[in-house]
Amino acid sequence: MKITELRSRRFVFNHEDRPFHPTWRPFPERHQDVTVVEIKTDEGITGIGAGGVLTRLGSVAPLFVGKDPLAIEEHWHTLRSIAHLMGRPWPIEIALWDIAAKKACVPLAKLLGGFTDKLLAYCSTGEIHGLEQRVEDVLRIRSEGFRAVKLRFHNPDWRIDLKTLDAVRKAVGDSMTIMVDANWGWYLPGDRTLGHWDVKTARAVVRELERYDVFWIEEPLYAYDYDGLAELREHTTLRVAGGELNAGLHEFQVYFDKGSLDVYQPDCTFAGGVTVAKKVAGMAQAAGLLFSPHTWTNGLGLAANLQVGAAVPNCPFIEFPYDPPNWVPEYRDFMLAEQLRIDGDGYLHVPDRPGLGVELDEARLAAIERA
């Protein structure tokens, strides 16, 4: 099999009527700007991928056309070098895996190991809502089938977030698993920047969170504060989660060497493709630790990370970005012919189709393609 074409197309989906105010951005999102990569082969198999970058990846096509799409480790090294020059090219690598699994006529999760065909989804909220609103939200998502929810702690005073957690825990009792994401792994100027935590603050927060049976505390400190995370981890019974924007095996190796994390969250669209995410899952498995990939890019990114999570034995939850009314599958999955939905028991299923198991909604995309 040979690659005959590699192209990228940019799509902009507007949701001006309902801007989304995530904790990780100091300005609202009013549209989703997504680059979709497609790789065609001489056997008629096409692979697709998308991530969180806008790079015109089609310009690197000559490095791949004419080559065997299944030589993924070789392509990975080319992509690693491209990453130095023009950002994160990992949607190309994801498209290659899509081709490999389509060639094998199995879902990608099966090609990678096939541990399970469904994962328990946690509802990953993205905004800070008022206490009463958040309680109402969580009760509603529980009624939709979710058995786990992640709350954001990002107010300048974390005690405000703690009150919300207290109210949510009282409302749901022990019927739901609760995670907390502080989102202090990285930040932009203009963000609630002065609120970001040092080790002492993080220790004070986790001491409180232990009383609420929180499953993990995510990104309580700057992502490269390896020692601070390790110190925090030593002083709490809570699992410490992170790594969503880290890239390459070497950065993750430092986390392992320092003992910084309990839950590893590489996102294959950021970390170095399916190849790196799967290897990090194996490193975590060897250390007796958990893997639960970050998925918050778009529906195609979620679809790819779902496949990696379902392939391995140490992924207890998959992140399901969902925070109505401002973040809903209609926005997240705008490029997909079929939106990703949980079942009534809170599971997200690996699509029973070869590859990533998702298709582009070409009719919709034709209307929103940009130069």
Interacting residues with Mg ion between 242 and 271 (CB under 5 A):
244
Smallest gap from residue 219 Cβ to Mg ion (A): 6
Question: Could you give phi then psi for residue 91, rounded to 5 degrees?
Answer: -55, -30
- Segment lying near Mg ion (by CB under 5 A), choices 43-51, 54-62, 237-245, 278-286: 237-245
Nearer to Mg ion, 191 or 218 (CB): 218
Nearer to Mg ion, 41 or 125 (CB): 125
Interacting residues with Mg ion between 208 and 227 (CB under 5 A):
218
- Segment lying near Mg ion (by CB under 5 A), choices 132-140, 177-185, 328-336, 358-366: 177-185
- The Cα–Cα gap between 157 and 198 comes to 13
Q: Per CB under 5 A, does 38 bind Mg ion?
A: no
Using CB atoms within 10 Å of the CB of residue 131, give its burial: 0 to 12 exposed, 13 to 18 middle, 19+ buried: middle
Neighbours of 367 (CB within 10 A): 7
With CA atoms as reference, report the closest residue to 360 among 331, 343, 339, 329.
339
- Segment lying near Mg ion (by CB under 5 A), choices 1-9, 45-53, 135-143, 181-189: 181-189
3-state secondary structure of 121: strand
- Is it true that the peptide bond before 107 is cis, omega within 30 degrees of 0? no
Smallest gap from residue 121 Cβ to Mg ion (A): 15
Smallest gap from residue 345 Cβ to Mg ion (A): 25
Q: What is the DSSP code (8-state) at residue 222? A: -
Nearer to Mg ion, 182 or 304 (CB): 182
Nearer to Mg ion, 296 or 331 (CB): 296
Q: Per CB under 5 A, does 181 bind Mg ion?
A: yes
- The Cα–Cα gap between 98 and 300 comes to 11
Number of residues that bind Mg ion (CB under 5 A): 3
Q: Per CB under 5 A, does 231 bind Mg ion?
A: no
- Each as own residue / partner, the long-range contacts of residues 78-82 (CB below 8 Å, 24 or more positions apart, any chain) are 79/273, 80/248, 80/272
Binding site for Mg ion (CB under 5 A): 181, 218, 244
